[in-house]
Amino acid sequence: MNDPQVATIPYWQQGAQVQLPEAALPKRVDVLIIGGGYTGLSAARETAALGAATLVLEAGAIGAGCSGRNGGQVAHSIKPTFAELSRVHGAERAFAICREGHEAMAYLRWLATEGGVDCDWRQQGCFYGAHTRRHFLAMAKDARCQPRGLEQRISVIARADQRQEIATDFYHGGCVYHDDASVDPMRLLLGLLRRAQSAGVTVLDRCPALALETNREGFEVTTPRGRIFASKLLIATNGYTGNLTPWQRRRVIPIGSYQIATEPLGASQVKSLIPQGRNIVDTRRVVVYFRPSPDGTRIVFGGRAALAETDPLACAPRLMDMMTRILPQLEGVRCEYAWAGWVAYTFDTLPHLGSHRGIHYCMGYCGQGVPLAPHFGRRIGQQMMGIEEGRTALDGLPFPTRPYYGGTPWFMAPSVFAYRTLDALGI
C-alpha cells in the first residue's frame, strides 16, 4: 500500500504531539532515567517527589515508544495464569504476583479519576471472543472457577447472544470482563509527563543516551548534548532496549505490533458494530484487538500483521483484511492511520524490575503495559529511593535469557508462523 491518504503517525498523536524546549544537559543529577514512556516518567515522578534531582532522557519525541502508540486497552494483566504461576512459584507467590495486576489497574484508575491524569478513562469492559467452541468452553469454565481473592466481574455470552456485543458470527461466544477499561494512550503519556514535571523532573526529548560508563561513584552517560553524571540510573527502554545495556537487551524480546484506524464511520455505524462500546480481544495465539475510538466514530484495530515486516503501510492492508473477516460490514472502508511499535516480551512472560550491577531496570510487560508500566514504574522509582512501599511480588525473580540470544529474536518468524497455523486449525 502506498496510499498518500494514510497517515503513519499514531491516530492518538494527531494534534497531540509535543516538542519540549531544548534545555541544556545538566552536569550531574541524583537519578538519571533512560526512556521517556510510562515507565520512565512514572519512576521519575517518584524519585523527584522523594527529593532526588531527576532527569529523563528520551531518544525520540515524547510518544516515540510504545506509550504513545498503543491500543489504550486496560486489563488485569499479568500474562501467566494463577495456575501456571502456582506451578512455578507456589500458590502464595502466584497469588501475590496476580494481585500486582489488580493493583496496577487500581492505580491507573486512581490516576485517571483522582490523580489529575486526564486520559479519557472508561471502564466499559472488554468482550473476549472465542475463536473456537473449545476456547468458549474453556473460557466459560475459567469464569466459573476464578481463584479466590482474584475474582473479576465476568459474564459468559453464548454465541446466540453475541450480537449484543459485536455484530458478527465470527466468534463462538465469549466473555465480558466488566472491569476492563480503555484510555487515550497519548493523553495518558502527556498526563504522566505533566505529573513528573510538576514534581520537579527535567525531561529532555530527542536526546538519546549513546554510551554508558560505570564507575565507583555512579554512572557517566554520553548524549549528543554532552556528558552527564548520575548517582543512580534506571533503564526504562522496554521494547526499544538497545546495545547501551546488553544485559537487559538479552532479556527482552522486541515484537512488532501494528495498528490502524479507519476513516470516520459515524457514531451510529460504530455503535451498530460494537453496541456496548467495549474493547474486543480474541482468543487466538496471534491475537487481534480493537475498540471504538474515544469519540466513537472510528474503529482502532491492532494485531501482529507481519512476521518480519516493519513498514506500517505494508501491514495496513493485512490488518484491514483481518478486520473485515471479523466485521464484513467494513468492506470498502478506508484506512486513515497506520502505525507500529515494539512491545517487549520476556522468556517467562512476566515483567521484571530490579537492579543488575547497580543499574536499575523495569521492563517486559508482554503487551500489557498500559496499566503495568505506570504501576511498576512507580515501584522501581520507590525502590531506587529505598522506601518500603516500592516492594513488589516480582522482586528477586531471576530475569531469564537464553543461550545465544543477543536481542534479535530470530525465532519469532517461525514461532508466529507456527502459532498462526495452530490458530487456523483451531487448536
Ligand X SMILES: Cc1cc2nc3c(=O)[nH]c(=O)nc-3n(C[C@H](O)[C@H](O)[C@H](O)COP(=O)(O)OP(=O)(O)OC[C@H]3O[C@@H](n4cnc5c(N)ncnc54)[C@H](O)[C@@H]3O)c2cc1C
Residue with cell 534545555: 23
> Whose Cβ is closer to ligand X: residue 85's or residue 343's?
343
> Whose Cβ is closer to ligand X: residue 29's or residue 140's?
29
Cβ at position 368, least distance to ligand X in Å: 4
User: What is the end-to-end Cα distance of the chain in Å, rounded?
Assistant: 32
73 binds ligand X (CB under 6 A): yes
Strand, coil or helix: what is 325? helix
208 binds ligand X (CB under 6 A): yes
Q: CA angle at residue 345 from 36 to 82, to 5 degrees?
A: 115
> Whose Cβ is closer to ligand X: residue 259's or residue 401's?
259
Q: Are 36 and 203 in contact (CB under 8 A)?
A: yes
| Rounded Cα gap, residues 255 and 119, in angstroms | 26
Q: Which residue type does 329 have?
A: Q
Task: Give me the 360-389 binding string for ligand X, x by CB under 6 A, dash otherwise.
Answer: ---x-x-xxxx--x----------------
Cβ at position 257, least distance to ligand X in Å: 4
| Rounded Cα gap, residues 407 and 137, in angstroms | 38
401 binds ligand X (CB under 6 A): no
Cβ at position 78, least distance to ligand X in Å: 11
Taking the CA atoms of 232, 236, 237 and 239 in sequence, report the sign of the dihedral they define: positive
Residue with smallest beta-carbon separation from ligand X: 369
> Whose Cβ is closer to ligand X: residue 26's or residue 242's?
242
294 binds ligand X (CB under 6 A): no
| Rounded Cα gap, residues 111 and 407, in angstroms | 33
Which of 136, 217, 117 minimizes the C-alpha distance to 175? 136
Residue with cell 554512572: 219
> Whose Cβ is closer to ligand X: residue 86's or residue 125's?
125
Helix axes 91-113, 369-384, angle to 10 degrees: 100
Cβ at position 145, least distance to ligand X in Å: 25
> Whose Cβ is closer to ligand X: residue 239's or residue 390's?
239
Strand, coil or helix: what is 243? coil
Within residues 16-35, the interface with ligand X by CB under 6 A covers: 34-35
237 binds ligand X (CB under 6 A): yes
67 binds ligand X (CB under 6 A): yes
Q: Which stretch binds ligand X (CB under 6 A): 98-106, 321-329, 359-367, 397-405?
A: 359-367
Taking the CA atoms of 339, 171, 366 and 43 in sequence, report the sign of the dihedral they define: positive
> Whose Cβ is closer to ligand X: residue 16's or residue 156's?
16
Query: Contact with ligand X (CB under 6 A): which of 11, 40, 125, 316?
Result: 40
Cβ at position 62, least distance to ligand X in Å: 8
Measure Cα distances from 269 to 230, 312, 326, 375 in Å: 54, 26, 15, 36
Within residues 332-351, the interface with ligand X by CB under 6 A covers: 341, 343
Helix axes 185-198, 38-49, angle to 10 degrees: 20
- Residue ranges binding ligand X (CB under 6 A): 34-40, 57-60, 64-67, 69-73, 208-209, 236-240, 242, 244, 257, 259, 302, 341, 343, 363, 365, 367-370, 373
